[in-house]
Chains A and B, each alone.
Chain A
């Protein structure tokens, strides 16, 4: 019954969405506001109806209704309740429904806002949002139905929502269980974050398209969608960070980012979205480069659809291959349609969109931001090309090739270097005009301090110049941001005669956006420290040890103490090693690297033992073992200097973005009103 209710609700949502589009267009064409209003009501209704659908699926998942194909695919009796529920996004059909539901939630929020000033945009915002939703609902209803059941007929077991003639329902006793890789906390939260980020960007895109269609030339769409964009960006960033953390904790190869095509497809919208966020600043502050922000939000939307397409169409195979299925052609059709539509629309509005560009000198903030946008786009093109080249090669030559980390790193390293430099200079640059002399005056102190970033590693015996440059860039970025913040507080103290704390909070509140940006940039610089640690200084070794034998790496010694092999209640066979770790002869404690074998899916998962400090991580993987543990076990150990800073920086970054989205107090509102005049 729950399956019928769920599917019925899904179908009703589709009808509402189609009606919403029709009513919005009709109302707009005939200038009848009541029709647009009715479309708006339809937008509000979809979310509660889809919630019924999601609720039904959750009910089926939680109660082990294995006659439903999706439930049998992603859950099993032995799974705890929370995993049964999070299995909602553990497979193709469920995650598509979840995607639609989140989008419906955003659409609901968009429909709730007051539209008094922007009535002309409303119909087109409705059309774009609902068109995207319809696409995903169609996928769910006709291609990947999460409510389809198992039936048995003469030909065997088949899956279908309705009862095929001559077939009888069957009720499997248990399901296959959730992919073990998806049982990690990082992977439980990662998909919702990623989807929220993707879905969030659809809202600013819809406003951009509405602005284009209505030929409005003001910045209203940017103002309305600023909050949406920042939240979407936050979620997209969180998705990437959690994905990286998950890879580090579960995939067991000592790294966090493998330039896997699926990772890349999540990175691409982030790159264009980040470029968009920066371009919008010039748009807002200087009323220039308006067409850039428009093009960038369009690219971001297309990349979101593209990313979802290549990861789900089975076009690629990778570690994320659980997300594959045969919905490729319809996805490709939608992608091409959207691409053509947006290109034609942009082309027809290009003349009214173009704004005069005035960049007075190379050190003005707008110039630096434009350079950063171009760098983001450079990296984006490289990643895009790297992702599609194997397909192109296969089509052109029949030969499939691998485009792996070395390809991307060659381009990414100098681009990240350039971005770090810009991040260091940008807080000091002002809009419109700044002289080199003025900039130099502000830069020399932090520059001197940043030289420590070269001197100290040199004293420590480091002579690889790329690493030295990288350290200097990090030191420079940190020094500039910290000096600048202190300098502004001191100016405030001097002019207003206030205490340190009062100056600090007032300076911050006075320009919340600018300081949030500084915090975000400090976060990125700290993350860079972690990246440098792994990229330049990661070392590894592997060896087979008998009990009591030791393996050395860097200043660490790891001794193999014991190995336990046992079954768990949730249908796992666990091989858990006990190793003791010493650093410079001093005992630090024990680590427990293990290998979990999931009986249901037949998949082994390697969980490393990690000892993490601000200086370095000691990371142990149990590679293999003999049946009798005294005969020996093979371990692979990694020494990952500074990697903890990647996660610390990520937190700082997140705090910065949350601060940027935080509504400012009365003063902020006043400032905003002044800005609108």
Chain B
């Protein structure tokens, strides 16, 4: 136990050296900086360079879009207003995700339903599989004094039983 605690303390001191990574970043100066432009641009996709966010795209068209964002920010537009502006011009595809409305509900509903459905089926499945088990064999003894999976007597006994059953089946 002592050894164990000592190793924890050792680990702790080692890891303390690494935590400086998570310090917050210094703030930028005011006005529409590149970072402010990129913050909006990273949420938009131009219709030509599909699947590359606007902040990372190097084409001339995307550079112009970033210029538009800069101008709008300078005029005091909010992030949402700028996004709406691009949606009005080019459609929903400029957004990183389909807006939650109309047909697009399906996009979000299906994964949710599948996940919930999967979990429900799993719960029912486990119940059913347990029932099947209790019909087929006797329930395992609770007080087995298990020490270790490698020398797990209960498990070994079951293995022996199954092996015997299989050998009988073959024979």
Contact = CB atoms under 8 A, between A and B. Distances in A.
Given A378-B114, A459-B16, A544 B22 contact: no
Interface stretch (A50-58, A89-97, A396-404): A396-404
Interface of A: prevailing SS? mixed
B64 interface: no
B88 interface: no
Given A377-B118, A411-B115, A456-B15, A430 B23 contact: no
A401 B50 CA distance: 10
Interface in B112-164: 114-115, 118-119, 122, 125-126, 128-130, 132-133, 136, 140, 142, 144, 146, 148-152, 154-155, 158
Contact of B19 (A253, A435, A459): A459
Interface in B83-110: 91-98, 102-104, 106-107, 110
B66 to A, nearest CB: 10
A397 B102 CA distance: 10
Interface residues of B, number: 70
A553 B21 CA distance: 12
Given A457-B19, A541-B35, A403 B25 contact: no
B107 A389 contact: yes
Contacts of A639: 25
Contacts of B25: 539, 541, 553-554, 639
B31 interface: no
Interface stretch (A38-46, A66-74, A221-229, A366-374): A366-374
B167 interface: yes
Interface of A: 251-254, 258, 260-261, 316-319, 356-362, 367, 370-371, 374, 377-378, 381-382, 385-386, 389-390, 392-393, 396-397, 399-407, 411, 428, 430-435, 437-438, 445, 448-449, 452, 455-457, 459-462, 488, 491, 537, 539-544, 552-555, 604, 606, 615-616, 623, 634, 636, 639, 641-642, 677
Given A258-B51, A386-B111, A636-B38, 17 more contacts: A252-B58, A260-B51, A356-B132, A359-B126, A360-B130, A360-B140, A362-B126, A370-B122, A377-B118, A378-B115, A382-B114, A401-B98, A407-B97, A433-B155, A491-B151, A542-B38, A615-B21
A-B CB proximity, top 3 nearest: A460-B19, A253-B56, A542-B34
15 contacts: A252-B56, A253-B52, A254-B56, A317-B50, A359-B126, A381-B110, A401-B92, A402-B95, A430-B152, A432-B155, A434-B146, A457-B22, A461-B19, A552-B26, A555-B20
Interface of B: 4, 8, 11-12, 15-16, 18-26, 28, 33-35, 38, 45, 50-53, 55-56, 58, 91-98, 102-104, 106-107, 110-111, 114-115, 118-119, 122, 125-126, 128-130, 132-133, 136, 140, 142, 144, 146, 148-152, 154-155, 158, 166-167
